[in-house]
Amino acid sequence: MRVLVTGAGGFFGRALVRAFARGGAHVTAADVIPPDDFAPRSGTPSDRVEYAVLDVADPAAWSTDVTGPVDGIVHAAALTPSIQESREDPSKLVRVNLIGTLNALEFARRENLDKFLFISSAGVYNQFEEEVLTEEDADGGFSLYGSAKLAAEIMLYRYAEMFGFDAGAIRPTSMYGPAEEFRDTRPFVTQAKQLADAAMDGVPVRVIGLDDRCDWVFVDDVAEGAHRFYTDGMGRRSFAFSSGDPIPFRDVLEAAVSAFGVAVDETAEMLIDATPDRATTISCDKARAELGWNPVGIAEGMQRYADLGG
């Protein structure tokens, strides 16, 4: 199995490369960054990974001269700007997230690929009401990012039906774990990363928004679940990869204190802001029933994060 993973230099992309390579696939890891800037995560079998520079928004870049021969695509490349950045240049987001997906689908069509897994997002849901949502409730959420992700899913399934390849999409909630960092395409890091960095740097923190909720999932649970979904057959299905339990940030902080030894001080200079309150429960019942999705809880996930080196 030869798989092209786009967005391979990103936080989740590197987890996907690791999961697919460890699962036995030969992976072409593709991203816009120079080859010297791509560093696979520890535990990634280096003999199963090759790197290619690929700008997904450039249709001319999609060639087997760049990717080498592949059987399928895991399309994780995305631009995740702030709301303000989306307002300032909405066309850039659409060009990467939607047209970039179209370019990937055209490549799959031309090369008669067998599989296409699209990495969507829980951004396709509105996550701020106290309600329970399922896969059928996706409406594009509150952002252009979420709208582009949902539009890309719709386009994916139409292509898969027309051209006869296996396709699926996953919608992860807030992922945390090793190898998260600032990038031009994702100019922020999660509060979990901020806690881990503070602990490793020996810097105390003060935290606001302790009662604000969010659905956290460990990044390797999502990557390994994606690999199983891709391998076992996707059947034009979309799944929420969530914990199904939005927890208050005080639970995340408690897990980080236990796993990393985070020092909390109400007078500390470093502030971690856990707002806003994402009160929505995004059900993972469908993924549990059909895929055997069983993510770890925050305490175990944070300990695995610490054990893997932050």
* Span 194-246, pLDDT tens digits: 999 999 999 999 999 999 999 999 999 999 999 999 999 999 999 999 999 99
In this structure, are residues 169 and 222 in contact, taking their beta carbons and an 8 Å threshold?
no
Of 121 and 181, the one with more pLDDT: 121
Which has the closest alpha carbon to 258: 287, 208, 300, 211? 300
Q: Which CATH number fits domain 180-214+245-279+297-307: 3.40.50, 1.10.8, 2.60.40, 3.90.25?
A: 3.90.25
Averaged pLDDT, 150-166: 98
Whether the predicted pLDDT of 310 surpasses 80: no
With cut-offs at 50, 70 and 90, classify the pLDDT of residue 40: very high
As a whole-number percent, the residues of the chain with pLDDT over 90 amount to 93
Q: Which CATH number fits domain 2-175+216-241: 3.30.70.20, 3.40.50.720, 3.90.50.10, 3.30.70.270?
A: 3.40.50.720
User: What pLDDT does 129 receive?
Assistant: 93
Which has the closest alpha carbon to 214: 282, 307, 118? 282
User: What pLDDT does 272 receive?
Assistant: 97
User: What pLDDT does 185 receive?
Assistant: 73
pLDDT by residue (tens digit) across 46-75? 999 999 999 999 999 999 999 999 999 999
Which amino acid does the sequence have at 23?
G
Bridge partners (DSSP) of residue 32 are: none
Which amino acid does the sequence have at 108?
A
- State if pTM tops 0.85: yes
In this structure, are residues 175 and 192 in contact, taking their beta carbons and an 8 Å threshold?
no
User: What pLDDT does 70 receive?
Assistant: 98
In this structure, are residues 277 and 248 in contact, taking their beta carbons and an 8 Å threshold?
no
Report long-range pairs for 21-26 (Cβ below 8 Å, ≥24 apart). 21/45, 21/48, 21/49, 23/227, 23/231, 24/48, 25/1, 26/1, 26/2, 26/50
**Strand locations in 162-231 (E):** 166-172, 174-176, 205-208, 213-214, 216-218
User: What pLDDT does 207 receive?
Assistant: 98
- Range(s) of the chain covered by CATH 3.90.25: 180-214+245-279+297-307
Which amino acid does the sequence have at 174?
S
Whether the predicted pLDDT of 253 surpasses 90: yes
Q: Widest CA span of the chain, in angstroms?
A: 60
| pLDDT mean across residues, the chain | 96
- Residue 66 neighbours by CB under 8 Å, 6+ apart: 30, 52, 53, 54
Whether the predicted pLDDT of 184 surpasses 80: no
- Residue 18 neighbours by CB under 8 Å, 6+ apart: 40, 41, 43, 44, 220, 223
pLDDT by residue (tens digit) across 67-123? 999 999 999 999 988 778 888 899 999 999 999 999 999 999 999 999 999 999 999
**Phi, psi (deg, nearest 5) at residue 284:** -110, 20
Averaged pLDDT, 162-176: 98
Averaged pLDDT, 280-295: 98
User: What pLDDT does 58 receive?
Assistant: 97
User: What pLDDT does 82 receive?
Assistant: 75
- Determine the Cα–Cα distance for residues 294 and 296; give it in Å rounded to an integer: 7
- Range(s) of the chain covered by CATH 3.40.50.720: 2-175+216-241
In this structure, are residues 296 and 231 in contact, taking their beta carbons and an 8 Å threshold?
no
- Determine the Cα–Cα distance for residues 143 and 132; give it in Å rounded to an integer: 19
User: What pLDDT does 188 receive?
Assistant: 80
Distances (CA, A) of 289 to 93, 175, 239, 283, 285: 34, 21, 11, 11, 6
User: What pLDDT does 307 receive?
Assistant: 96
In this structure, are residues 295 and 217 in contact, taking their beta carbons and an 8 Å threshold?
yes
Averaged pLDDT, 21-47: 97
Whether the predicted pLDDT of 18 surpasses 90: yes
Report long-range pairs for 147-150 (Cβ below 8 Å, ≥24 apart). 148/93, 148/94, 148/97, 148/98, 149/78, 149/97, 149/120, 149/121, 149/123, 149/124, 150/120, 150/124
